[in-house]
Amino acid sequence: MLSGSVFSPQDLPRTSVFLALRHEFSPQIRVDLSDLEILADGVWLPLLNEPVLLDAQQIAGGQVHLGGSSLPAGRYSLLRLQIDQIWTPDGVGAWQPRLNQQMEIEIPLTAALMLDHNDSKSLFVTWDAAATLALKTDAGDFSAAPAQGELPVDVLYVSCPDINTVFVVRTDNNRVIDSFGIAGGPTRLALDGDRLYVLASRQRELLMIELSSYRVIDRFPFPLNDEPGVMVLDRLGRTAYLLDHRSGYLSRVDLVSGSLVARVSLGYQPADLIYLEEQNLLAVSLGLAQRVLLLDPTSLRVQGTLSTGAGPAGLAMLEQRLYVAEQGSSAVAVFDLQRRAPLERLLVGIEPTQIIATDHQLYVAHPADGTLAVLVPGQLSIAREIRELGTPAEMAYGPRYRQLYVLDALRGGVTVIDTNADLLSTRIPLGAIPADLVVTP
């Protein structure tokens, strides 16, 4: 039964729906899906944001996002699809219609979907395209189930604050396998063993999430006037550093006691923050001051300064060298941290913002033209360029499968780069604008 409580739209739980093929190798067939609904106390509620063309060849071994919606809390057990048309090729390059009228298909969930207050759960639809090709269009063509609750070893977490959701993605096949709700708009993420730290920006809290249950097990408030844009953990996972782009404050939070133990005003529009483990230092880029500060991680006192070009932004460390993406000068500055001296400046694409180091090279994001520049240490120019990435932003690297994950706010998902070949591998659609991501090491 549905809950009788009255919620405002932002408080309602949410469901996101994803579709994959039952068999990876499927025939050529297209389906016009015009509606997707879920039954709630005798009332069909819409889940589809807009009509979708399902192309079995394009889906292949991947996954598509069908839609999502806020729903009343309760128990759900039945979906309904509406198919407007089925298309098959005629052998000469044209697609021919196969249906004379619309079809409605009801799909019982293999297990009930239970939605509680502040939940954000996903449903997974499986499509047997070969059965549809044979015009056996009944519930047997499709099956639907909530998440199985099994957490693989290698996982990517992606926050989407506009829908109060963190998505869980398997990194072996790059499919969404689960999701959970975080009230207050989850933005920045940090991972420490079996715990995920999440900034709930609208609630002004740092949350500790137990990954086995997605349960909040601790909360740490941060100063009321702060809007942290970057969060970094120390090497032991006992301290969180929060950087506020707007106010210029850097705060140190003790995750054992939950107390704010140090706080310093940096000013000059700080852009990025990284923890340098071998040096036991924090590095902070200051956009307006055109420099990078090296700070003591305990006292937050300045231990050194590096002068950069215009608009230093993203920071990365590789082979004892600090790389700084200079947004204003369209370059990447390289520093020797042992001598704290500049080494070189590499011209890259326009307005670089983020930079990340993988095993042996670096990737620089250029949101203005939707590209990534690939840099190899020791080379004085771009090694390669990867295009058609939408608006590349935050990045995370998965070492096991050597994949680079890049947020794409333009398409509402994550782009996957195969770093062995530096080619676009696949896209993970989420149906929402992502804010941050983190992958298990």
How does DSSP classify residue 48? B
Count of CB atoms situated within 10 Å of the CB of 399? 13
Q: Is residue 37 part of a domain?
A: yes
For tokens 């292949």, the residue is 60
Is pLDDT larger for residue 49 or for residue 78? Answer: 78
For residue 2, pLDDT beyond 50: no
Q: Mind giving me the DSSP string for 50-93?
A: S-EEEEHHHHTTS-EEEEEEE--SEEEEEEEEEEEEEEEE-SSS
Domain range holding 63? 9-146
Q: Specify the long-range contacts of residues 411-416, CB closer than 8 Å, at least 24 apart.
A: 413/65, 414/156, 414/158, 414/169, 415/389, 415/390, 416/174
The whole-number average pLDDT for the span 293-309 is 97
Whole-number average pLDDT of the chain: 93
Task: Tell me what pLDDT residue 3 has.
Answer: 35
Which CATH number covers residue 104?
A: 2.60.40
pLDDT in tens, 223-275: 878 889 999 999 999 999 999 999 999 999 999 998 999 999 999 999 999 99
Q: Is residue 403 part of a domain?
A: no
User: pLDDT-derived band of residue 11, with 50, 70 and 90 as boundaries?
Assistant: low
Task: Tell me what pLDDT residue 137 has.
Answer: 59
User: pLDDT-derived band of residue 26, with 50, 70 and 90 as boundaries?
Assistant: confident
Q: Which of 430, 389, 426 is nearest to 408 (CA)?
A: 389
The whole-number average pLDDT for the span 317-339 is 96
For residue 175, pLDDT beyond 70: yes
Q: Is residue 285 part of a domain?
A: no
Rounded alpha-carbon distances, angstroms, from residue 258 to 186, 205, 281: 19, 11, 22
Question: What does the buried/exposed string (b/e) look like for 281-292 if buried means 16 or more CB atoms within 10 Å of the residue's CB?
Answer: bbbbbbbebbbb
The whole-number average pLDDT for the span 104-109 is 94
Q: What share of the chain has pLDDT > 90, as a percent?
A: 83
Q: Are strands 281-286 and 302-307 parallel, antiparallel or unpaired?
A: unpaired
Number of structural domains in the chain: 1
The whole-number average pLDDT for the span 354-358 is 97
d(CA 326, CA 349): 11
The whole-number average pLDDT for the span 205-234 is 92
User: pLDDT-derived band of residue 136, with 50, 70 and 90 as boundaries?
Assistant: low
Is pLDDT larger for residue 201 or for residue 322? Answer: 322
Is pLDDT larger for residue 297 or for residue 410? Answer: 297
d(CA 107, CA 276): 52
| DSSP E strand stretches across 255-408 | 260-265, 270-276, 281-286, 291-295, 302-307, 312-318, 321-326, 331-336, 341-347, 355-357, 362-366, 371-375, 384-386, 392-398, 403-408
Task: Tell me what pLDDT residue 85 has.
Answer: 94
Q: Is residue 165 part of a domain?
A: no
Do the beta carbons of residue 82 and residue 67 sit within 8 Å? no
Q: Is residue 251 part of a domain?
A: no
User: Which amino acid, 189?
Assistant: L
The whole-number average pLDDT for the span 206-230 is 92
- For residue 79, the cross-strand partners are 38, 107
Q: Mind giving me the DSSP string for 360-399?
A: S-EEEEETTTTEEEEE-TT-SS-SEEE---SSEEEEEEET
Sign of CA dihedral 409, 414, 416, 419: positive
User: pLDDT-derived band of residue 138, with 50, 70 and 90 as boundaries?
Assistant: low
Task: Tell me what pLDDT residue 439 has.
Answer: 97
Phi first, then psi, for residue 426 (nearest 5°) are -165, 175
Task: Tell me what pLDDT residue 167 has.
Answer: 98
Q: Is residue 25 part of a domain?
A: yes
For the entire predicted model, the pTM comes to: 0.95
How does DSSP classify residue 32? E
Q: Is residue 431 part of a domain?
A: no
Angle at 146 (CA atoms; ends 142, 150), nearest 5 degrees: 120
For residue 326, pLDDT beyond 50: yes
Q: Is residue 126 part of a domain?
A: yes
The whole-number average pLDDT for the span 34-55 is 94
d(CA 52, CA 55): 9
Task: Tell me what pLDDT residue 286 has.
Answer: 98
User: pLDDT-derived band of residue 303, with 50, 70 and 90 as boundaries?
Assistant: very high
The whole-number average pLDDT for the span 14-25 is 93
Q: Which of 8, 297, 17 is nearest to 167 (CA)?
A: 17
Question: What does the buried/exposed string (b/e) look like for 381-393 if buried means 16 or more CB atoms within 10 Å of the residue's CB?
Answer: ebeeebeebbbbb
User: pLDDT-derived band of residue 86, with 50, 70 and 90 as boundaries?
Assistant: very high
The whole-number average pLDDT for the span 406-426 is 96
Q: Are strands 64-70 and 165-170 parallel, antiparallel or unpaired?
A: unpaired
Do the beta carbons of residue 415 and residue 408 sit within 8 Å? yes
For residue 107, pLDDT beyond 90: yes
Do the beta carbons of residue 303 and residue 337 sit within 8 Å? no
